[in-house]
Structure 1
Amino acid sequence: MQKSLLTFANTHFAIKAETVLEAAGIVVAPMPLPVKLGGNLCGICLRIPAAETVVAVERLEAAAAPPADVYQIVETAGGKEYVPWTS
């Protein structure tokens, strides 16, 4: 199953996002931010099924907890790649 990764500007947004998505019935897996993504982002990100990405982003924007960035997780022979998501 393909997955998407949601990153956040701060921990408050990440925790609020998890609550909003779980209430919407979206399976959420919190995880540490991959080192490859670094930057000025919160250290917590959320992994969700790729098929739920559009709905998840819409719900989070409506709840005032938008993701900073959204990535598709692509499995490769060398590990995982994080490809920026486009709606």
Structure 2
Amino acid sequence: MSLFGFLFLLLIASICGAIGQSIAGYSLGGCFVSIIVGFIGAWLGPLIAKELELPMFYIINIQGKDFPVIWSIIGSALFALVVGSITRGRKQQP
């Protein structure tokens, strides 16, 4: 994969992560965190779809790497919801 392909993949992951966080209602951080949430969503979303035998749709192919956009957004939203629920439930010590 070229540098351009990798940067494009990071851009798509950050957008998917940001959309997923917006859907969940929890913002876990800035752009770097959105990229991480997007990649976790890209792993988690298709895993859920495969287990439930749901179809993959709207897949972007970037230099031989498939990136499932819709399932990445769904996975990112679920991940942000779980992490946001856990971190919001804790009280910080003064």
TM class by smaller structure = under 0.3
Structure with bigger strand share is 1
Which structure's CA Rg is the greater one? Answer: 2
The two structures have a TM-score, normalised by structure 1, of: 0.28
TM-score, length of structure 2 as denominator length: 0.27
Higher RCO (CA < 8 A, seq sep 6+)? 1
